[in-house]
Amino acid sequence: MLDGTYHVDDPAPKSAADGAFRRAASPIRDQIDGPIDPARYHLYLAVNCPWAHRVWLMLTLKGVDMTKSFALPKRTDQGWVFDAEGRFFDPLNGFTALHELYATTGTYTGRITVPVLVDKETGALVNNESADILRILNRGLGGTDFLPTDRMDNIEAWNARIYPNLNNGVYRAGFARTQEAYDAAVMDVFDTLDAIEHQLSQTRYLTGDQLTEADIRLFPTLVRFDVGYHSAFKCNRARIIDYPNLWAYAREMYQMDGVPETVDFDIYRYGYHSKSELRNPLGIIPIGPSPDWAAPHGRG
């Protein structure tokens, strides 16, 4: 979108001249200080988007409800779109495409992305950066504090490593246009998974005995890895189920109250293997794998 007008062709290329994938920044970065009334705010999400998933997880683990609009899990030339009814209907505005929401700003320039936090009282788009929204919800809602001050340095260190090398690293591998770009990205992915596996041999969660924001930001990548990134993005040196500590940790998080409802393996499998000129020109969807995420994790 340029100056509030949607363009079918994305004016910002995803790959640089060196073949490496570059993710554009999220420009709507307003903050909310202090407690928030969840009834006042609305989230635009997509089930298949890992950045939206981390926000949905925060709400779930906080035990707080907030109205939500889920875009269809497959984008069209209109970007993220909605059905006229059902699961993928927009109950807030009845929009048919997410760019209609962004157009309400009148001046927005940038990519049309989820998640988006919207103020229902004013109609304003508050924030479309998932990392910001996580912290807005954590400090504004009651319940568990997933950013305890005594662990902040450790949380920030894990976030700084996991985001570029794993959360976004799988995309850097999957969208690489040169062998060199792919090699660098995929090594980052598995170096990070190896480091996490080692950490989880010593502590229950990334920063110790308490689940924190770092774990919430990691989980969406883990549940998509074996059914999507491993094959579709060529991150195939190993699977999550091949890491004993990481696989038990991932199952424990999956089995927390409400978390299974935020996960849809079929949507991930179909989405990452959808027809793509570069990655999957025939659009053939693989049959599996189907690991048992409900199996006992053995972590007490």
Catalytically active residues are 49, 171
CA 173 to CA 177: how far, in whole Å? 9
Which residues make beta-bridge pairs with 125?
118
* Cα distances (angstroms) measured from residue 197 to each of 156, 216, 241, 246, 284: 18, 16, 11, 5, 32
Q: Before 50, cis peptide (omega within 30)?
A: no
**DSSP tag of 5:** B
Specify the 3-state DSSP secondary structure of 67: strand
Which residues make beta-bridge pairs with 29?
127
Q: Which residues contact 116 (CB under 8 A, 6 or more apart)?
A: 28, 43, 44, 98, 101, 125, 127, 128
Closest Cα partner for 197 from 250, 264, 122, 265?
250
Which residues make beta-bridge pairs with 46?
71
CA 208 to CA 115: how far, in whole Å? 29
CA 144 to CA 215: how far, in whole Å? 14
User: Integer distance in angstroms from the first to the last C-alpha of the chain?
Assistant: 49
Neighbours of 188 (CB within 10 A): 19
CA 291 to CA 30: how far, in whole Å? 40
